[in-house]
């Protein structure tokens, strides 16, 4: 296994990152890569640990630990260390559909479960993965498989996010004829419009989609299934249908004054910014959406962080990010042992940029909005914040965040971005297809299955498991593809 003493000889290094003040000038990716020689040294840190939790992909204490795709990470690291990059790509592509996406936007569940990280810094498996896939593209190794024989079976995939694309890729390789429907004007779903360009340059999506088109996958854009084409229309044309529409029903904040102008859902805001940038080929920066405004971001997750970074780039006067839960500890607690996902304080790129520009971390913990205050024209001018404290509900036994009386504080705000998560699938789609839902409005299936209650209809991704990560969506899409293939052919070699 590689260099047995590598984890003792080399310290963790990651690729160069542009300074906050520099990267705020544009919407370009700002995280670079190490030279291959240094990347090989980083791969040498993989320590032949015997039990590689990095590739396990298991739920531990309700959280995913290790790679949901079960990428054989030690094998890949070993090949990178030895400079056998083509073999590393072949190994990676057996289990992974789109390493170019996850190596940019994944929170690296593999690294959180790395044995080396138990007492030292983990192996930078995410950057090793990026080195492999970029080497493969640069050297013409990435090719979508074109099936020699077509089965005559037709499959519709509704939604072109990471899960839908993964399912389409494998089913096309099998020889089925696949059509992907996307309601937006460009392919990519969450990847395209839910993730800012500085995290995932959209040309990275375009180059993969081009290969998939050349391999025979048919992409139909600007078509909203359930509205433009009913479910009955698809059922007449296709043998199987896979719903991959995401958990795109945003959670709202119900407070007085919610109807004020200047309150937006985060995903709508991020989508509009990206669309206007793409439509102008990045020539026109949509500063009119934010410039000179005091911005409040409600939500402390990845989407909230993206709103912080985007708002600063668009000229926000100030940015404040509200988080309902208490501030996480700096280090793991005894109740959160390795290899569980570490519930610790993380300062992401948006917060780093806010600190650089405004001089302080934008996050305020245990706080929410009590009231939105409008001016005479109905425009948002202020928000009333209120502190929260954790109290045990005697009936349920659960701890809840309860408002603290007398803690109200009024702050200026002309733009509020709600990034409070998602509630599940959208009703018009599930109603049209007649699929059964669970208590969280996700599409219901048998345990570990993707077939829905409706005949010939399958589901995958966030629409199935709820709001989650790109890497889990890809894993979902691959599993759904195999299940559909087995139903069509009686067996599957996917």
Domain boundaries, the chain: 6-138, 154-248+423-489, 263-418
Give CA–CA dist 237/153, Å, rounded: 10
6-138 folds as Fumarate Reductase Iron-sulfur Protein; Chain B, domain 2 (1.10.1060)
Q: Look at strands 399-403 and 415-418 and give their pairing.
A: unpaired
Q: Other C-beta atoms within 10 Å of 288: how many?
A: 11
Exposure class string for 97-123: b at 16+ Cβ within 10 A, else e: bbbbbbbbbbbbbbbbbbbbbeeeebb
Task: Kindly give the interhelix angle for 125-138 and 73-81, rounded to the nearest 10 degrees.
Answer: 60
Note the CATH architecture for domain 154-248+423-489. Answer: 3-Layer(bba) Sandwich (3.50)
Domains 154-248+423-489 and 263-418 equal at CATH topology level: yes
Task: Kindly give the interhelix angle for 73-81 and 36-43, rounded to the nearest 10 degrees.
Answer: 130
Q: Look at strands 240-243 and 318-323 and give their pairing.
A: unpaired
Please say whether the beta carbons of 337 and 222 come within 8 A.
Answer: no
85: nearest Cα among 53, 118, 129, 119: 129
Largest CA distance in the chain: 71
263-418 folds as FAD/NAD(P)-binding domain (3.50.50)
Which pLDDT does position 395 carry in this prediction? 85
Alpha helical stretches, state H, 216-265: 231-237
Below-50 pLDDT ranges, the chain: none
pLDDT digits (tens, 9 = 90+) for 392-430: 888 888 889 999 999 999 999 999 999 999 988 999 999
Token pair for residue 252?
Answer: 């709202």
- What is the CB-side half-sphere exposure of residue 154 using CA atoms within 13 A? 8
313: nearest Cα among 282, 346, 334: 282
Task: Kindly give the interhelix angle for 85-95 and 73-81, rounded to the nearest 10 degrees.
Answer: 170
Please say whether the beta carbons of 470 and 190 come within 8 A.
Answer: yes
Which pLDDT does position 2 carry in this prediction? 67
CA dist list (Å): 25 to 88, 317, 400, 413: 36, 16, 41, 24
Give CA–CA dist 192/208, Å, rounded: 12
β-pair partners for 17 = 31
In the numeric block, the tokens 């691959």 are attached to 478
């Amino acid at each position: 296994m590689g260099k047995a003493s590598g984890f003792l000889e080399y310290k963790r290094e990651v690729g160069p990152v542009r300074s906050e003040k520099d990267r705020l000038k544009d919407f370009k990716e700002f995280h670079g890569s190490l030279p291959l020689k240094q990347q090989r040294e980083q791969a040498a840190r993989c320590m032949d640990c015997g039990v590689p939790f990095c590739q396990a992909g298991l739920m531990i204490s309700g959280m995913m630990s290790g790679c949901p795709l079960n990428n054989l990470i030690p094998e890949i690291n070993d090949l990178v260390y030895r400079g056998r990059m083509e073999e590393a790509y072949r190994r990676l592509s057996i289990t992974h559909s789109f390493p170019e996406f996850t190596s940019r936007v994944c929170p690296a569940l593999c690294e959180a479960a790395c044995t080396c990280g138990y007492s030292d810094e983990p192996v930078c498996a995410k950057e090793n993965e990026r080195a492999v896939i970029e080497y493969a593209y640069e050297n013409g190794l990435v090719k979508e498989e074109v099936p020699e024989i077509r089965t005559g079976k037709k499959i519709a995939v509704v939604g072109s996010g990471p899960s839908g694309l993964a399912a389409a890729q494998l089913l096309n390789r099998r020889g089925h004829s696949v059509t992907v429907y996307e309601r937006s004007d460009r392919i990519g779903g969450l990847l395209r419009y839910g993730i800012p360009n500085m995290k995932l340059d959209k040309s990275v999506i375009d180059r993969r989609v081009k290969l998939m088109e050349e391999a025979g996958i048919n992409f139909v854009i600007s078509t909203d299934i359930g509205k433009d084409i009913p479910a009955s229309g698809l059922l007449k044309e296709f043998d199987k249908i896979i719903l991959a529409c995401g958990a795109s029903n945003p959670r709202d904040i119900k407070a007085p004054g919610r109807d004020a102008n200047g309150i937006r859902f985060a995903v709508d805001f991020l989508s509009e910014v990206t669309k206007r940038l793409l439509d102008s080929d990045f020539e026109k920066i949509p500063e009119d959406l934010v410039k000179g405004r005091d911005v409040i971001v409600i939500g402390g997750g990845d989407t909230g962080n993206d709103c912080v970074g985007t708002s600063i780039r668009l000229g926000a006067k100030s940015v404040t990010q509200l988080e309902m839960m208490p501030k996480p500890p700096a280090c793991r607690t005894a109740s959160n042992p390795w290899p569980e996902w570490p519930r610790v304080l993380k300062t992401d790129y948006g917060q780093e940029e806010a600190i650089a520009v405004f001089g302080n971390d934008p996050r305020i913990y245990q706080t929410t909005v009590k009231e939105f205050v409008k001016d005479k024209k109905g425009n948002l001018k202020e928000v009333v914040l209120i502190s929260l404290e954790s109290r045990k509900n005697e009936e349920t036994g659960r701890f809840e965040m309860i408002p603290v009386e007398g803690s109200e504080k009024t702050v200026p705000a002309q733009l509020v971005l709600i990034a409070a998560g998602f509630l599940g699938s959208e009703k018009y789609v599930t109603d049209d297809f007649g699929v059964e839902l669970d208590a969280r409005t996700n599409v219901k299936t048998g345990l570990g299955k993707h077939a829905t209650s409706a005949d010939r209809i399958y589901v995958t991704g966030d629409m199935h498991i709820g709001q989650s990560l790109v890497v889990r969506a890809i894993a979902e899409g691959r599993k759904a593809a195999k299940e559909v293939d087995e139903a069509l052919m009686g067996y599957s070699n996917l």
